[in-house]
Structure 1
Amino acid sequence: MAKKITVRDLLNNTHLKMVTGEEYLDRTITTADISRPGLEMTGYFNYYAPERVQLMGITETAFAARMTHDELMVVARKMMQPVTPTFVVSTGRKLPEEFMAVAKETHIPILSTELTSSRILSNMSFYLDGQLAKRQSVHGVLVDVFGLGVLITGDSGVGKSETALELIQNGHRLIADDRVDVYAQDEERLVGEPPAILRNLMEIRGVGIIDVVNLFGTGAVRSHATISFNLHLAKWSDDQKIDRLGNGEDTIRIQGVDLPRFVLPVQAGRNLAALIETAAKNFRAKMMGYDATKTFDDNLNRLIAENSKAEHEQATNQD
């Protein structure tokens, strides 16, 4: 489920400033798409999308300067509809007075920025794409370990929160405990964040709810993180098949994105926090091209070749 985003949220999270209509900042933004209404300034409205944020830059305002008062009023009334959330003016430009008057009539806030159209378009799109993306709730814990977002999952009571707590004590950062809201930033990246009600909080069995910021400081938490891999805690069983070499290619699919997945057997005496730290370091090393499994395979193949050569030489000498 997507969040509800208002013009106020857009104003507070991008490089924008208020021009007029501050009392109407609670208007809802329903789509991440942003319009550059160049054709509309000429009177072409066949494909106009009034529900989008409307961005006007040098081209649009320069064209408006050539239009008559009546032409501007007609265009402004067609552009500014009940579903239109806001108008944004880039590059320090100003809207025509006719637009300002119609905006006041229709309760549409006007925002501005000194940034170029391309830069503010990128900023707004990045923010709105993330905020309006559909969320999927995943039962687990998300922790930033050495700069990597590690999604820890497992059966209830397996020790996810306790392990995350030890990681926090080791200097890593909590993003979400118990439930992680996950959305696709793009076709390859997943981002996780906590539900608002659980932000900065953890539940530790036998202790209760703790406030991580209050106990460990602001440096112990993050508001969100890109998820690098899923580490699943599985209760130990003797017949369990375990990837001993680390060359498995298991993945879990979330929001259409395949996320690398590793299974870590849980048994009394195993230091899960240390194992997760090691898994994070090893994952980063693989991303940088250092693969310990490949090194082992190369060493093994070289040893086999050397033994084979020695056996061949020994057989030749005996002949």
Structure 2
Amino acid sequence: MNKVRVSELIEHFDLKLVSGEKGIEREIIVSDISRPGLEIAGYFTYYPRRRLQLLGRTELSFFNELSVDERYRRTSQICTSQTPCIVISRGIEVPQEFIISSNKRNVPILQSKMKTTRLSSMITNYLESRLAPMTAVHGVLVDVYGVGVLITGESGVGKSETALELVKRGHRLVADDSVEIRQEGESELVGNAPELIQHLLEIRGLGIINVMTLFGAGAVRNYKRVSLVIHLELWDQAKVYDRLGLDEEKIRLIDTEVPRLVLPVRPGRNLAVIIEVAAMNYRLKNMGYHAAQQFSDRLNDTLHER
């Protein structure tokens, strides 16, 4: 299970730690944020205690109208052993009752100068990205004409060499050897390189090269949406490969299906050019133009006329 520590949240958003310092290593395990307005009013039946609690001007204005006893009662119920942290927006002064309860339960209270809505959106996006389902795939991810192409295949089949040729032709490397893929949203897969091997490419016989150093910052990017998978395999004379492109194969990555092409490899085939054409053809299909289908339709019409 992916986790984000409160200390990471503090560092990323430059938040001010007001109280509950002993709990800054607490883990945030859900990306949803709670605005505990009903809880401050006294309704705790469905209190989502595992979520980050975000308080703005509306909630704190109502809180300040409560009696002292009610304030202590509400804060003691909001600050639980499972609550990761509480964030106060707009730089609003934190009520003393919250500080006492947070120190008692070791629930960090953080303060930000940002407006509540903007802060909520930014934290949600950050948590969704960090907590999204993730898998690691052995392959190479390249941005070809704006299409994220994941090149897979057995070791030594030529994935990295093909990626190098694509970079030389003006495309951008995202990751080599190991690609971390996260599912963001319902059907969007985003790939990136592990930090240790970012911008690096391994070429057998040559070694490890830094693509950004050799080709410039325009030859790399940190992440890219995975739109197409191209699998390289050694040419098998006994196997029948698709020659029309009517049958579209798909592969499931996490919970999302992605189009997959199988390219046979043998001497004389320019894989970089073929992958460029595959990326352009993918874009045309998304725009409604399917060359193979149009050819099939014309062929059927000709046979019907005869």
Whether these two folds match at TM > 0.5 is: yes
- Structure-1 separation of matches of 2:111 and 2:224: 29
Query: How far has the Cα of 1:25 moved from its partner?
Result: 4.8
Are residue 164 (structure 1) and residue 160 (structure 2) matched?
Answer: no
Does 2:220 match 1:221?
A: yes
The structure having more radius of gyration, on CA atoms, is: 1
**Residue 20 of structure 2 contacts residue 107 of structure 2 at CA under 8 Å; is this kept in 1?**
no
> What runs of 5+ residues in structure 1 fail to find an aligned partner?
309-319
SS at the partner of 2:230? Answer: strand
1:103 to 1:220, Cα distance in 2 relative to 1, 3 A: farther
Structure 1 residues 21 and 163: CA distance shift in structure 2, 3 A: farther
Q: Distance in 1 between matches of 2:11 and 2:292?
A: 47
Q: Return 95-104 or 261-270, whichever deviates more.
A: 95-104
Distance 2:294 2:237 in 1: 29
Q: CA RMSD in A?
A: 2.4
Structure 2 equivalent of residue 69 of structure 1: 68
Quick check: 259-268 or 78-87, which moved more?
78-87
Taking structure 2 as the reference length, what is the TM-score of the superposition?
0.89
Give, in whole Å, the separation in 1 of the partners of 2:121 and 2:244.
43
Q: Which amino acid aligns with 2:115?
A: L
Report Cα offsets for 1:30-55 as digits up to 9, x if no partner: 22122121222123333323332101
- Report runs of 4+ in structure 1 exceeding 4 Å deviation: 11-14, 21-26, 91-94
1:198-239 deviation per Cα after TM superposition (whole angstroms, max 9, x unaligned): 222222111112222222233222222211011101111222
Q: Does 1:20 pair with 2:18?
A: yes
Q: Deviations over 1:104-151 (max 9, x none)?
A: 55361413243343x433332222122112322211111111121111
Is the Cα contact below 8 Å between 1:189 and 1:257 reproduced in 2? yes
How many residues end up aligned between the 2 structures? Answer: 304
Work out whether residues 80 and 108 of structure 1, in 8 Å CA contact, stay in contact via their aligned partners in 2. no
C-alpha separation between the residues in 1 aligned to 2:85 and 2:52?
5
CA distance in 1, matches of 2:19, 2:166: 47
Corresponding residue number in structure 2 for 1:10: 9
Q: Which residue of 2 aligns with 1:143?
A: 142
Deviation at 1:160, TM superposition (A): 0.5
**Offset at residue 302 of structure 1 (A):** 4.2
Unaligned runs of 5+ in 2: none
Matched residue of 1:263: which SS?
strand
Question: What is the rounded CA distance, in whole Å, between the counterparts of 1:67 and 1:114 in structure 2?
Answer: 25
Q: 1:202 to 1:113 in 2, by over 3 A?
A: same
**Mapped partners of 2:253, 2:168: distance in 1:** 29
Report the CA distance between 1:63 and its aligned residue: 1.3
SS of 1:269's equivalent in the other structure is coil
8 Å CA contact retained: 1:13, 1:127: no
What SS does the corresponding residue of 1:270 show, helix, strand or coil?
coil
Q: How far has the Cα of 1:243 moved from its partner?
A: 1.3
Q: Aligned pair in 2 of structure 1 residues 218, 252: CA closer, same or farther (>3 Å)?
A: same
Counterpart residue number, 1:115: 115
Change in Cα spacing, 1:219 to 1:83, as seen in structure 2 (3 Å) is farther
Q: Aligned letter for 2:131?
A: L
Match of 1:40 in 2: 39
User: In 2 relative to 1, CA 25–173 (structure 1 residues): closer, same or farther, beyond 3 Å?
Assistant: farther
* Match in the other structure for 1:249: 248
Structure 1 residues 113 and 150: alpha-carbon distance in aligned structure 2, compared to 1, 3 A threshold: farther
Residue 234 of structure 2 aligns with an amino acid whose one-letter code is K
The Cα of 1:79 is off from its aligned counterpart by 1.7
Q: Deviations over 1:1-34 (max 9, x none)?
A: 52x42234334555x6436359665443222122
* Residues 25 and 109 in structure 1, CA contact (< 8 A), matched pair in contact too: no
- Residue 241 of structure 1 and its aligned partner are, at CA, apart by 1.7
**Equivalents in 2 of 1:280, 1:50: separation in Å?**
46
Q: Secondary structure at the match of 1:55?
A: strand
What amino acid is aligned across from residue 20 of structure 1 in structure 2? Answer: V
Give me the identity figure in percent: 45
Residues of 1 paired with 2:127 and 2:111: CA distance? 16
**Counterpart mapping for 1:190-229 below 5 A:** 190-229=189-228
Q: In structure 2, how many angstroms separate the alpha carbons of the residues matched to 1:245 and 1:12?
A: 53
Distance 1:239 1:107, change over 3 A: same
What's 2:54 paired with? 55
Normalising by structure 1, what TM-score? 0.85
C-alpha distance after superposition, 1:184-206 (max 9, x if no partner): 21332222222232222222111
Following the alignment from structure 1 to structure 2, what is the Cα–Cα distance between the partners of residues 11 and 291?
49
